[in-house]
Amino acid sequence: MMHSSGNKISIWRWLTGLAQFVRFPNLVIVVLIEFLLRYAILKPILFGGAYEYMTSLTDFIIFVITTLLLAIGGYVINDYFDIKIDRVNRPDQVVVSRIIAPHAAMKIHLAVNFIAVILGFYLAYRIQSFWFGLLFPCGAFFFWFYSARWKQLLIWKNLIVAFISALLVMLVLLFEFFHLRLYPDYFAEVMGKLNGIFMIFLGYAGFAFLVSLFREVIKDMEDLQGDEQYGTRSLPAVIGINWSKSIVIGLIVLTMVLLGYCQVVIFRFGLEMLFWYFMIAVQVPAIVLIMTIIRAKEKKNFHLASWLAKLIMLTGILSMVFLSISY
């Protein structure tokens, strides 16, 4: 797997490269999202004390592993197709060809997708929903076509990534929903709660969509040099940095306004702790991000903006803890 270029690569360098290869921080966020959705929202609000109707912890862990494998497969194939561009945009972080040979990367992609699909159909069998199992091979093909073809489709590539982020949230609910159907009596009993749960999940999915969308455009501004050199039709490469900045700021403001509306509803329900959490941990960083975008001129400025966007995503996710406490 390790690709030699004259000097033997240290184990530490290889492990660091592997962590970059699979986007380890992003995987941690995926795990955090899925466990918080289960234990901070579904368990206390939907199931109360009737935990026997939840999916088993073993099945849920398999579900988490399956989504992680799909994500890893997506990251690997993305790096495989972006070798030349990444050598320009982030030469110190190139893993494919520098640490892992391209043919090895392709084998990893195929292997993790194969395991994910097998596990996905196992979960489908457990919850007795063939259609749920089909989501996983579809996801694998989706990531392939995104990396090979759809990345050239201007804003569509950003929308696709944002949609995947939102889908990750809804997938947790879908998994629990199909399992809940196996218990018709309890399903009928909690039907009234499901509408509220759906709205909560939809809110977090919408938040994930918008934050992922403006972060992807920020990353495109950061990577403009390589995209222009290799003819990638990213939004900044086509319409320019200034217009791209305006779009990002507009998306951030839209996120803040929609969140503000949710905060009004939250306050009316007496969830003051959650209201102030959103104000301090999400709204204030969003204002800082807008100021950073306005002033950004160099690659390092956009890198900072991208980091702030990820921070906003993380603090938004952690609000589930306060929602659970407040509830």
Whether residue 1 lies inside any domain: the answer is no
Reading the block at residue 256, the tokens are 């803040």
Whether residue 6 lies inside any domain: the answer is no
Whether residue 2 lies inside any domain: the answer is no
Roughly what angle, to the nearest 10 degrees, separates helices 57-81 and 130-148? 20
The number of distinct structural domains making up the chain is 1
Whether residue 185 lies inside any domain: the answer is yes
Whole-number Å distance between alpha carbons of 268 and 311: 27
Whole-number Å distance between alpha carbons of 38 and 46: 10
Under a CB-based contact definition with an 8 Å cutoff, are residues 116 and 66 in contact? Answer: yes
Whether residue 5 lies inside any domain: the answer is no
Q: Look up the pTM and report it.
A: 0.89
Q: pLDDT truncated to tens, each residue of the chain (327 aa)?
A: 445 444 555 676 666 767 777 788 889 999 999 999 999 999 998 888 788 899 999 999 999 999 999 999 988 888 777 666 666 666 566 666 566 777 888 888 899 999 999 999 999 999 999 999 999 999 988 888 877 776 667 778 889 889 999 999 999 999 999 999 999 999 998 888 899 999 999 999 999 999 999 999 999 999 888 766 766 778 898 899 999 999 999 999 999 999 999 999 999 999 999 999 999 999 999 999 999 999 999 999 999 999 999 999 999 999 999 998 876
Whether residue 210 lies inside any domain: the answer is yes
* 253 class by beta-carbon count within 10 Å (0-12 exposed, 13-18 middle, 19+ buried): middle
CA distances from 160 to 9, 38, 152, 290 (A): 36, 25, 12, 23
Whether residue 3 lies inside any domain: the answer is no
Domain residues for the domain of 87 are 11-326
Whether residue 4 lies inside any domain: the answer is no
